[in-house]
Amino acid sequence: MEEDFIYWRHHTPVGIKVEEISGGGRYADSKTHRALALQIYCENGRDGYREVEHFDNGAPYLDGDPSRISITHTPGLLAVATLPKTPETDLRRFSERTAMGIDAERRDRRQVLDIRDRFLSEKEKGLAAPDDVEGNIALWTAKEALYKAAMTPGLDWREDIFIASLPVPMTAEEGPDGKPRFNFTEGKARVRIDGQWHDMHLYSYDSDDHRVTLAYSPRAAKFMKSK
């Protein structure tokens, strides 16, 4: 794990901005690592310092900024995903216009194999073998990201959040014009809120030893997509 923090901002090819703060291995305490990484994020706002607050349901937001954000933290990585500003929406509540969540986890965290029965339906278990660590990490991060996107505490992960297919993680290569070409496949999912199902998409990529997954409504506001 890197000793120093590294800040990186990028736009994903699905139109969602992600800012990562990696490293910081000298800070073994998880709370200290998260606090310092979040401070670095706040200090790297293009228009000055950003203040992160939380709604009563726990969802994060930027003080004075009508942009949906979602935050994930795991040892060695803090990532913040952002949608374009949507002043016409109420960020305190679920809306397909702002439905988005992010989650990250180490790809070698074997503990996920012990809790498959807690977060996967019988049909979803067919998406990854019971001994496939990376496959189950992909499912775990997808479920976490979908739960955050749903903005509805108390959802049953096996009954109200359904993964139909997993995304193929993004890879990049140089195209004939010298510009990066992104290769990936979106996954498909649904979340049930107040008895109504909402379609969701999934996108993932690997950041060093972590799998990062984004969940978002196909109707959510997006930045211009990279080609």
pLDDT band at 2 (very low <50, low <70, confident <90, very high): low
pLDDT band at 140 (very low <50, low <70, confident <90, very high): very high
What pLDDT is attached to residue 225? 61
Residue 227 pLDDT more than 50? Answer: no
Which residues neighbour 35 within 8 Å (Cβ) at sequence distance 6 or greater? Answer: none
What would the mean pLDDT of 161-182 be, rounded to a whole number? Answer: 92
What would the mean pLDDT of 149-176 be, rounded to a whole number? Answer: 95
For the stretch 33-55, pLDDT in tens is 999 999 999 999 988 999 999 99
Catalogue the E-assigned strands of 48-186.
52-54, 60-62, 65-74, 77-85, 100-106, 161-165, 168-174, 180-185
Residue 1 pLDDT more than 60? Answer: no
For the stretch 71-110, pLDDT in tens is 999 989 999 999 999 999 999 999 999 999 999 999 999 9
Which range of 42-46, 176-180, 214-218 scores highest in mean pLDDT? It is 214-218
